[in-house]
Copies of this chain bind each other. A is one copy, B any other.
């Protein structure tokens, strides 16, 4: 928790499970349409106390955060739930009486098969995935999918459309150029990737096989709150959800394919999850490496070759934990609360802190911000580290700061960060 000196600077607010300040508009749910609005009660720098008692689970978890843990704001690999780590620790040497570690299990043995089947089943429950879709546990990260998607879904001459709202969408587009004819139908680059376009005026190609988006740009902190529809009714929508996977409910049926690296919200690095509509597989290009062919993996239930077993096991523990929390609606509520606290702190700092992203599309997961006095950024990051808040440096391509506040970041971690921000501003503002 924040040090005494930090606490002394905070304005006290009543203990209240809801926010005690008023909004221009109420927060609207579901998440597809969430926006963050600066409080209007006062022109003073906004502040909030660490002593607020909110009764949700994110706070409960944070209250039991071990003293020797840091608050890890890394963009991925990222913080994991403490109880999941404790469970993994207790089972590492001997998994449930099997006499071996999960790391030692044959991927074709009954023990591991039970692990991967439960992981899939729990993920299907979380996202309400119908039997029209395969769920695949693969390797190679989203970057491997940048090639696998056009290799599986296109011929070399096929057109596909990309909406590029940040660095990852751009990478996906560039890789697709090797395997089909992609077009960037909208790019936020000229505005430094701070926006999502209005869907009404997109100039989609009538014959595009798919429309690709990156649902949450990890580096720039831009998140789609709702989704465009391909103009061609035979085309599908594809989303890279690496950095907001399982952070909120998603209507999977709107997508032909969803993919995500696990290492943000649902596990360690080394596992990539692909959710693909069953009718889309089986037509990979001849040059497709067998390991990038969805049909191979679907026919073999992700066990064509040795999968990343331990990572899948960890994902399974996280899925179970998310279900125990009440599922993704509750998870989203917690994430909104954390993001609200941080964005409000930025927006009420009278420009001392700045978030460049348009308010309506700010990410619940990755919060980039800069200091008006950019020469102080290194000092801020240093002080945060001293207070056991680490990995706050922005991506090397954009600079500034970035706080990644994935599912597993406790509310107390954001409170502590906001407390430091106030304190730092009081000293340097």
Contacts from A to B (Cβ < 8 Å)? 68-70, 72, 74-80, 85-86, 88-89, 92-94, 97-101, 103-107, 109, 139-144, 146-148, 151, 175, 178-179, 261, 263, 267-271, 286-292, 304-311, 314, 388, 390-391
A269 and B70 contact, Cβ closer than 8 Å, known pairs A77-B103, A80-B104:
no
The complex places the Cα of A151 from the Cα of B141 at a distance, in Å, of 20
The complex places the Cα of A148 from the Cα of B142 at a distance, in Å, of 18
Find the B residue at minimum CB distance from A112: B77
**Interface pair A308/B270, CB less than 8 Å apart:** yes
Copies per complex of this chain: 2
In the complex, which residues of chain B have a beta carbon less than 8 angstroms from the beta carbon of A151?
Answer: 289
**Interface pair B270/A310, CB less than 8 Å apart:** yes
The complex places the Cα of A11 from the Cα of B290 at a distance, in Å, of 52
A290 and B104 contact, Cβ closer than 8 Å, known pairs A89-B92, A311-B310:
no
In the complex, which residues of chain B have a beta carbon less than 8 angstroms from the beta carbon of A140?
Answer: 139-140, 144, 291
The complex places the Cα of A89 from the Cα of B139 at a distance, in Å, of 24
Which of B104, B269, B292, B304 is within 8 Å of A74, CB to CB?
B104
The complex places the Cα of A289 from the Cα of B175 at a distance, in Å, of 7
Given known contacts A74-B105, A289-B289, what 19 new A-B pairs fall within 8 Å (CB)? A70-B99, A70-B100, A74-B109, A76-B306, A77-B105, A78-B104, A79-B100, A79-B104, A85-B93, A89-B93, A103-B269, A141-B291, A141-B305, A141-B306, A146-B289, A146-B290, A179-B287, A289-B292, A308-B308
A106 and B75 contact, Cβ closer than 8 Å, known pairs A70-B99, A92-B88, A141-B291:
yes
**Interface pair A311/B314, CB less than 8 Å apart:** no
